[in-house]
Amino acid sequence: MSKASQTPKILIVDDNRDVLASLRRTLRRCAFDVTCIDQPELAVEALEREKYDLMLCDIDMPVLNGHEVMAKAHELQPAMIRVFVTGAGNMDAAVRAINEGEVHRFVRKPFDANNLRNMVREALERKEELEIVSEASARARRRRQLYESLEAEHPGITDVSFDPNGVHVVDATRVGEVARTLGLEMFLASSS
């Protein structure tokens, strides 16, 4: 199953159950898999057990505040999109968290349902784009490591020369040396 066809998993953390219910109703309309938790310490436990695509988290909560939950979320699931839900009194904290890279965005209470749904969709699309780039980077890194390993074992094997017309120039002596080293002499005999 491709990532695009999976239902995005969203974790909502807020000690106010009315806010949780409102956020749940708003996001369930988008067919997201929504988990709501009203105790931040339980949210951290959920993050240890489950993988989420996006988390909406209140800033002002008892026991653990939103910054502490976000820091733990970043540690446990760095690729997860993190969004603060905040009242007007916490705007400075929310902006600071964005600037420090702790969170992706913030949603102001009271929130507009359509704006929230659009922001979540855009964030999830961006996450998917970043995952594609990350996978491509990982493949490129593995390919570079393979080339470095081959070059260390067989110096010069990755050197490629071109003639003025752009055609690959093959050093037959070097090909023979590498083929013998790799036990592929049978291919040399058939190609001559």
Which amino acid is residue 128, in one-letter code?
A: E
pTM of the predicted structure, to 2 decimals:
0.66
Of the candidates 42, 41, 31, 36, the one whose C-alpha atom is nearest the C-alpha of residue 55 is 36
H-helix segments, the chain: 17-28, 40-49, 66-76, 91-99, 113-153, 172-181, 185-191
Q: Is the pLDDT of residue 191 over 70?
A: no
Name residues whose C-beta falls within 8 Å of residue 156's C-beta, 6 or more positions apart in sequence. 174
Residue with tokens 């540690």: 75
In three state form, how does the secondary structure of 56-99 look? EEECCCCCCCHHHHHHHHHHHCCCCEEEEEECHHHHHHHHHHHH
**Domain boundaries defined on the chain:** 3-136, 143-191
Question: Using CA atoms, how far apart are residues 78 and 72, in angstroms rounded to an integer?
Answer: 9
In the numeric block, which tokens belong to residue 34?
A: 């929504």
Q: What confidence tens digit (pLDDT) does each residue in 130-169 have?
A: 777 778 777 888 888 888 888 888 787 777 788 899 888 8
Residue 10 CA neighbour count, 13 Å, CB half: 26
Q: What pLDDT score does 181 carry?
A: 81
Q: In this predicted structure, which of 11-25, 61-75, 100-114, 118-132 has the lowest mean pLDDT? A: 100-114
Q: What confidence tens digit (pLDDT) does each residue in 172-184 have?
A: 787 788 788 888 8
Q: Which CATH architecture has domain 3-136?
A: 3-Layer(aba) Sandwich (3.40)
Cis upstream peptide for 110 (omega within 30°)? yes
